[in-house]
Structure 1
Amino acid sequence: MNCCDNSGARNLYIISVKGFGARLNRLPAAGAGDMVMATVKKGKPELRKKVMPAVIVRQSKPWRRADGIYLYFEDNA
């Protein structure tokens, strides 16, 4: 997943989702606005291989808003 802030991280790997209940054999899913725990795969050397919180601000899978429109972005970030 791309990182869209100026922290120096460029690519993130999601390892868990905050507030997601557990169920056997179910993978945690996250969408836009969800907080996740991620590691930095590409970026500044002092940020790499560390677990840090992140918020998903863009998702490429379309989702439906309450007013009926479908919203999606070009990439995940």
Structure 2
Amino acid sequence: MSEKIQVLGSRKGLTPSLQHYSVVNVADNSGAKEAMIIGVYGYRGVLRRVPFANIADMVMVSVKRGTPEVRKQKFRAVIVRQRMPYRRLDGTWISFEDNAVVIINPDGTPKGTEVRGPIAREAAERWPKIASLATLVV
């Protein structure tokens, strides 16, 4: 039963890893280098609680460092790596060296043409277009 709940996107039992104003690396070649999370899509929480996001969640980011064309702009992004350890359904725990996102267009396709570094299997299953650009899925 718990497997079905997690696949559907339930946040119950998940550790809050990335929240508002978290600074993340951008793992694609869209021109952005560093971004800040400013919103979490689909988050329904409690009044005054800081929204959080996990692997494979869609977030709104503001680009802080990068080329002049993408700086100071807002984009949708998908979290592909997180430093906070999280538990998979088979019981293993996994964490990455950094927090990273891939910038996507409003229709869900990646803005860049390649994804640098490993991405989580959960993000690859939920976003197959990102997985096709990735070099390594962990």
Where on the TM-score scale, by shorter chain, does this alignment land: which range? over 0.9
After TM superposition, the runs of 4+ consecutive aligned structure 1 residues lying more than 2 A away are none
Q: Which deviations, in whole Å up to 9, do the C-alpha atoms of 1:33-60 show, x marking residues without a partner? A: 0000001000011101111100000000
Output the aligned Cα RMSD: 0.7
Match among 17, 27, 42 for residue 50 of structure 2 = 27
TM-score by length of 1: 0.96
Structure 1 SS opposite 2:25? coil
Q: Counting helix residues as a fraction of each chain, which structure ranks higher?
A: 2
Query: 2:62 aligns to what?
Result: 39
State the identity %.
Answer: 53
1:49-64 alignment runs, 5 A limit: 49-64=72-87
Query: 1:76 aligns to what?
Result: 99
Query: 2:29 aligns to what?
Result: 6
- How far the C-alpha of 1:22 sits from its partner, in A, is 3.7
Match among 12, 16, 19 for residue 39 of structure 2 = 16
Unaligned residue ranges in structure 2 (runs of 5+): 1-23, 101-138
Match among 56, 81, 88 for residue 65 of structure 1 = 88
For residues 24 and 48 of structure 1, what CA distance do their matches in structure 2 show? 31
What is the count of residue pairs matched by the alignment? 77
For residues 49 and 29 of structure 2, what CA distance do their matches in structure 1 show? 33
For residues 24 and 75 of structure 1, what CA distance do their matches in structure 2 show? 29
For residues 25 and 18 of structure 1, what CA distance do their matches in structure 2 show? 17
Aligned amino acid, residue 29 of structure 1: F
TM-score by length of 2: 0.55
